[in-house]
Amino acid sequence: MADPLILVHGGAGSIPAASQHAHSHGCQEAAEVGGAVLAAGGSAVEAACAAVEVLESNPIYNAGVGCALTREGRVSLDAAVMDGHSRHAAGLAALDAFPHPIQIAKMMLEEPEVLLVGHPASEWAVRRGFRRVPEDELTTEAARKQWHLVVDEGADPNFAGGTVGAVVRDGRGQLAAATSTGGTMGKKPGRVGDSPLIGAGTYADDVCAVSATGHGEAFMRAVFGVRVADAIRYGQDPATTLQRKLERTRDLFGGLGGAVMLTHDSGPHSFWTTPGMSHGWWTPEGSGCGI
Ligand code: ASP
């Protein structure tokens, strides 16, 4: 059986030179936290969610604290996790201000529903004991500045960058994928991206786990995640598949982005069609990062 492995991303885009070190090392730190969960015998789902939680706590990324804001300057969060072994999946979309949407998604894996949205989703989370916080607690000065550039000055929102995700293979060879984001900066209230949609931005089964980042509308129309997984299941080479599906998303659907991926017996695999994508990995032999 292949060794345990964790690979995380901190979003695709143009990462300014001044923050590249922090961006990539933040990913390595998250991968190491996920790795510690695996080393202690934790499952792929537990490790993926632990890694994403670290990234949600880091204001440099567009998830949890530091998230992108809607056109009205409000917080609206998307997150999902999929357990490749059981094929259970949970997505939350247009969620209120919760510091760790991925924890809510993890708890939702026990429910029969796959996707909860908006106010009822937030109410469900509160009933299950999660703490909703004032939106200011998740809104950084940098996010507010970027919002102003997009909403008031007409800067191209494209996609915000800084969405976070993790893919994991645990000690039993089981896979999981998790993704969390504030979505695109200045998005229409109610807009949902690819991240919480199983098969688009987040997907895992017994062969492949994938977490995407980029222009969500294109990734949704391309039905990105499950196409990667199925191509590999039916015999395509994993690294070539990831590259081709990202190029397809760009060429046929007009969206740039990137993804992290691993299979039951290969990886880490990452590719991006943007100038960069911060990422970090952990194996029992060591950890590293790149951009
Ligand atoms: N894919 C995310 C979305 O469209 C944004 C991103 O990855 O930066 O919501």
Written as tens digits, the pLDDT of the chain (291 aa) is 889 999 999 999 998 899 999 999 999 999 999 999 999 999 999 999 999 999 999 999 999 999 999 999 999 999 999 999 999 999 999 999 999 999 999 999 999 999 999 999 999 999 999 999 999 999 999 999 999 999 999 888 766 679 999 999 999 999 999 999 999 999 999 999 999 999 999 999 999 999 999 999 999 999 999 999 999 999 999 999 999 999 999 999 999 999 999 999 999 999 999 999 999 999 999 999 999
Closest ligand 1 atom to 193 CA: 9
The Cα 129–Cα 232 span in angstroms is 39
pTM of the model as a whole: 0.98
What would you measure as the largest C-alpha separation in the chain, in angstroms? 54
Q: Give the closest residue (by CA) to ligand 1 atom 7.
A: 213
The Cα 229–Cα 261 span in angstroms is 9
Closest ligand 1 atom to 192 CA: 9
Distances, alpha carbon 82 to alpha carbons 114, 226, 250, in Å: 10, 12, 25
Pocket test for ligand 1, best of 23, 197, 203, 215 (most atoms within 8 A of CB): 215
pLDDT of residue 158: 65
Pocket test for ligand 1, best of 9, 188, 194 (most atoms within 8 A of CB): 194
pLDDT of residue 157: 73
> 117 C-alpha to center of ligand 1: Å?
17
Nearest to 132 by CA among 179, 64, 86: 64
Residues 6+ apart with CB under 8 A from 12: 161, 163, 213, 214, 256, 257, 258, 272, 273, 274, 276, 277
Nearest to 214 by CA among 179, 167, 176: 179
Verify whether ligand 1 is closer than 6 Å to residue 159 (CB atom): yes
> 194 C-alpha to center of ligand 1: Å?
7
Catalytic residues: 163
pLDDT of residue 145: 94
pLDDT of residue 159: 67
Verify whether ligand 1 is closer than 6 Å to residue 195 (CB atom): yes
Nearest to 195 by CA among 85, 51, 93: 93
Q: Give the closest residue (by CA) to ligand 1 atom 8.
A: 161
> 216 C-alpha to center of ligand 1: Å?
5
Contact assessment for residue 120 and residue 104, using Cβ atoms and an 8 Å cutoff: no
Verify whether ligand 1 is closer than 6 Å to residue 196 (CB atom): no
pLDDT of residue 160: 64
Q: How far is CA 97 from the centre of its chain?
A: 17
Pocket test for ligand 1, best of 52, 55, 117, 213 (most atoms within 8 A of CB): 213
Q: Give the closest residue (by CA) to ligand 1 atom 4.
A: 216
Closest ligand 1 atom to 219 CA: 1
pLDDT of residue 85: 98
Residue 172 tokens, joined: 């039993």
Closest ligand 1 atom to 187 CA: 9
Other Cβ atoms closer than 10 A to 62:
30
Verify whether ligand 1 is closer than 6 Å to residue 163 (CB atom): yes
How does DSSP assign 142-171, residue by residue?
Answer: HHHHHHHHHHTT----S--S--EEEEEE-T
Closest ligand 1 atom to 182 CA: 9
